[in-house]
Structure 1
Amino acid sequence: MRKRWLILAGVIVMSVSLFGSFTNQPKKFRNSDSDYMVSSGGMIEMIGAYIKADRAAPTPVKPIPLRQIPASELDAPESESVVYRLGHSTVLIRMDDQYVLTDPVFSKRASPVQWMGPKRFHPLPIEIRDLPSIKAIVISHDHYDHLDKNSIRALKDKVEQFVVPTGVGSHLRNWGIPAEKIEELAWWESFALGSLHFTATPAQHFSGRGLTNKNSTLWASWVIEGREGRIFFSGDSGYFSGFREIGERFGPFDLTLMETGAYNKLWRSVHMMPEESVQAHLDLGGRAMLPIHNSTFDLALHDWYEPLERAEITAENWGVKLLIPVIGAPVKLRNPLPTQSWWRELLVEKNR
């Protein structure tokens, strides 16, 4: 019962947050397609859905398979570009013999406090202290499951540049990151760092870390380009027309890192359903898709494995190359090897 009330308290805060983000009051940043998210009636419906939820598998009943990444592997010369999914939307990218890290969250919980909130349900495949030097950290937006204060502070001395949407730099400066290490971009703006090029592209989402700063910073998806390839990082987004425009401007992509998790019909405008994630990948002109934003934190009402199942079925039906690696396993950017449906071994018999 206590757990149910803690969950309810969290969703009330989230619901107020969502509702407050899309009132008629003036605000700094808006979505390009639609600013509708949830009405007051929808907020009540959302709270009711959480109270009534009776899920079979909100979190894994057994430890999920995980590959520990040896620090020596990251220091060794590598002829091909690779990506490592570290959990949720945290992805370590090796391209042009340099490392890029997306939305680093290494804390135990995706929360403003570490004694309450969504708890990580797998260990880290590598600790921050064992990471190599990072050329750039790319942030999609300032929500707690994407911008983690403790992780940013711990990574400070390993990182050459933080590449963030407009306004997000204010958080970093408050946490002790020097201003000269922060590059803030609006949608369609680009930044070159050696052989790597970063372009902030639109997403349909929102921002804010409290009840008084809704949409005061920008949210974005990202195009990451180097000599050895091109990657799209979705951040968080509902499905919208912007994916097709991004694909027309920058596609095709060797790999798309697509949000696939923490969705619900009640907040579909800001978090894609799995089928929409696959459609967005096609809009972008992606060659291979790697679903992110799943299998680490319980942030919605679906079972933990459902995003993977639905994405796999859709990708198979639509002829999409889908990659769902074990956390910590390397995936080649060019000509990646097929992955296995590892989550099925963890399902209780009645859920298979």
Structure 2
Amino acid sequence: MALRFKNLDGSGPHPMSTVFQWAVADKVAGRRRKSAATCAMRRVEPDLAVLAVPPAPGEGARLTWLGHASWLVQLEGVSLLIDPVLRDSIPGFIRRNVPPGVPTGQLPPIQATLVSHNHYDHLDLPTVRQVGAPVIGGLGLTRYFQRTGLSVTELDWWGSTRVGAVTVHFVPAQHWSRRGLADVNETLWGGFVVEGTHTRVYHSGDTAYFEGFREIGRRFPGIDAALLPIGAYDPEWFMEKQHMNPEQAVQAYEDLGARRFLAMHWGTFKLTDEPLDEPPQRLDAEWKRRALPVEPLHVLAVGESLTVAPGAPRQG
């Protein structure tokens, strides 16, 4: 089958025989690690009055973790959502382990919703429709919104668009796309660099570790905050083509040359075999093994915000 889109290295998703081995054969044979579907998660009640007012131009960026890969990113007087999945469950009867950091009905006015790719744990159409903001995503994404009345801006890798005073860049990731039975890699996946006059924020989307992190860091030097996935990696023989483990996420952070590491994609949905609370433990161990300074590492509570102070004005 010819694929419309491929990764930078030419790869696509696992063949169905490999998917069957992971999803069915290994499970029946008892070869997959067993762990609980829930865990205790830190969650804080956000200050909705504060979130209602995004930082003004030149005041930096406020980043609020809503759970999984969902973020509220506010800068330059603009509020953006990235990969908002805020309902109680996702298709496949996978329920949330922790409520969203901010329920959909309590979000501030949103100027744009950024969608990294079409997997159900990153693109939740009911959430996006309820938010009602214009959508920005990869090539081919418009098909999912034709009956919603929402405007969609499609971007190729390295493409960009403006939302007020903010520039949104779509950048490569090592992943794949599929939402139905016959649409493998028909829409483009990726990550985002959200750029204001003084602040750059990177959201990787779903991704395996790949050489593209160095190129993203080269094209966007001085990334102030990298939002990187640390969960959904076990069994690694199957997941490593599409998700990073915590040790690889630290390497990605160093490849990017980012100032801060913010962990995501863990603790919310039980998608793979590792315990839900294992990823931050491995992240902490790897951070200490590399003797990295403690201050740049942030494992936020769900609903918690981090304000990234502005740096020097961006050039270009």
TM-score (ref. length: structure 1): 0.80
- Kindly provide the CA deviation profile for residues 146-195 of structure 1, in whole angstroms up to 9, marking residues without a partner as x: 00011011111xx2x31111111211223x133xx311100011112221
Q: Match of 2:146, SS? A: helix
Higher helix share: 1
SS for the counterpart of 1:134 is coil
1:238 aligns with 2:208: yes
Q: 1:38·1:267 contact (CA, 8 Å) conserved in 2?
A: no
* 8 Å Cα contact 2:54/2:79 also seen in 1: no
Match of 2:112 in 1: 136
Provide the residue aligned with 1:203 in structure 2: 173
Does the 8 A contact of 1:239 with 1:280 survive in 2?
yes
Distance in 2 of aligned mates of 1:41 and 1:173 = 33
Corresponding residue for residue 247 of structure 1: 217
Match of 2:158 among 167, 183, 188: 188
RMSD: 1.8
What is the match of residue 152 of structure 1? 128
CA distance in structure 1 between the partners assigned to 2:284 and 2:156 by the alignment:
33
Secondary structure in 2 matching 1:212: coil
User: Which residue matches 2:199?
Assistant: 229
Structure 1 residues 133-158: Cα deviation after superposition (integer angstroms, max 9, x where no partner): 112211100000000011011111xx
Q: Does 1:171 align with 2:148?
A: no
Give, in angstroms, the shift of residue 249 of structure 1. 0.7
* Separation in structure 2 between the aligned mates of residue 28 and residue 177 of structure 1, nearest angstrom: 26
Q: Aligned match of 1:105 in 82, 85, 93?
A: 85
**Cα distance in 1 for residues equivalent to 2:27 and 2:223:** 37
Label 1:118 to 1:68 Cα distance change in 2 as closer, same or farther (>3 A): same
Residue pair 2:44, 2:101 contacting (<8 A) in 1 also: yes
- CA deviation digits over 1:11-39, x for unaligned, max 9? xxxxxxxxxxxxxx112111111415434
Measure the CA separation in 1 of the matches of 2:45 and 2:278. 25
Distance 1:172 1:67, change over 3 A: same
Give identity over the alignment, percent: 31
User: Aligned letter for 1:311?
Assistant: L
CA contact (8 A) 1:187 1:200 kept: yes
- SS of the residue 1:222 aligns to: strand
1:108-133 Cα shifts (integer Å, max 9, x gaps): 1121xxxx521101112222121111
1:274-285 paired onto structure 2 within 5 Å = 274-285=246-257
CA-CA distance at 1:75 after TM superposition: 2.1
**Is 1:263 aligned with 2:233?**
yes
Counterpart in 2 of 1:55? 34
Aligned residues: 299
Partner of 1:323: 298
* 2:3 aligned with 1:27: yes
Is the Cα contact below 8 Å between 2:263 and 2:300 reproduced in 1? no
* 1:30-41 → structure 2 map (5 Å cutoff): 30-35=6-11, 37-39=13-15
Q: 1:212 to 1:44 in 2, by over 3 A?
A: closer
Deviates more, 1:51-60 or 1:146-155: 51-60
Segments of structure 1 that go 5 or more residues without pairing to the other structure are 1-24, 336-352
1:65 aligns with 2:45: no
Residues 35 and 128 (structure 1 numbering): CA distance in 2 closer, same or farther, change over 3 Å?
A: same
The separation in 2 between residues aligned to 1:312 and 1:251, in whole angstroms, is 25
Counterpart in 1 of 2:314?
none
* 1:287 aligned onto 2:266: no
Deviates more, 1:186-195 or 1:39-48: 39-48
Shift of 1:40: 5.4
The Cα offsets for residues 39-68 of structure 1, whole Å up to 9 and x where unpaired, read as 4553343133334235343421x4x22112
With normalisation by structure 2, the TM-score equals 0.89
Cα distance, 1:204–1:224 mapped onto 2, change above 3 Å: same
Query: For the residues of structure 2 that align with 1:80 and 1:232, how far apart are their CA atoms?
Result: 14
Change (3 A) 1:148 1:330: same
Asked if the contact 2:61/2:309 (under 8 Å) is kept, the reply is yes
Q: Quick check: 1:288–1:322 contact (8 Å CA) kept in 2? A: yes
Q: Distance in 2 between matches of 1:77 and 1:182?
A: 23
Partner of 1:348: none
Distance 1:54 1:313 in 2: 21
Structure 1: how far apart are the matches of 2:18 and 2:125? 31
